[in-house]
Amino acid sequence: MKPSLVFRFSFAALIALAVVGPAQAQAPAGAIPLSVLRKYQEKRLPALDALKISGVVGENNQGFVEVRGNGGDSAANLVADENHDRAVVYTLFARKYNMAPEQVGLLRARKIAEKSKPGIWLQAPDGTWYQKK
């Protein structure tokens, strides 16, 4: 995990602790209900899709989004928020299915690549970027 992602994750856990109280925030990944995370993701989806279509953002091979072009601070912030929520979701699913969050991310990356529309930038397993045809 990147240091900035670790910091954001820890910060979010602290905020969740303050908002929902210690009983619900014992496990950082479970502090925010999955349904709430999904709503956050749904709200940012139109902006994220626009960035993908414009080529500023692509889907990497680990199940996360990456800024590929010059999208400015707003794109970077949107990507950071999305990746934070994806990391939490992957951790929740990993716990449920007794696997590593990284495995969940890899599986999700494959599914995202399959379902992505033509023109979206994707990262192949070897790390090279390509535009879906």
| Every domain of the chain and the residues it spans | 55-131
The residue assigned the tokens 């992957």 is 90
pLDDT over 70, % of the chain = 77
Q: What angle do CA 33, 47, 49 make, to 5 degrees?
A: 95
Contacts of 37 (CB under 8 A, 6+ apart): 85, 88, 89
For residue 90, give the nearest of 69, 113, 63 by alpha carbon: 63
pLDDT of 28 reads 55
Kindly report whether the global pTM for this prediction surpasses the value 0.85: no
| pLDDT tens digits, 61-91 | 999 999 999 999 999 999 999 999 999 999 9
Q: What angle do CA 29, 45, 8 make, to 5 degrees?
A: 35
| pLDDT tens digits, 28-73 | 566 789 999 999 999 999 999 999 999 999 999 999 999 999 999 9
The residue assigned the tokens 């390509």 is 130
Contact 14, 32 (CB under 8 A): no
pLDDT above 50 for 6: no
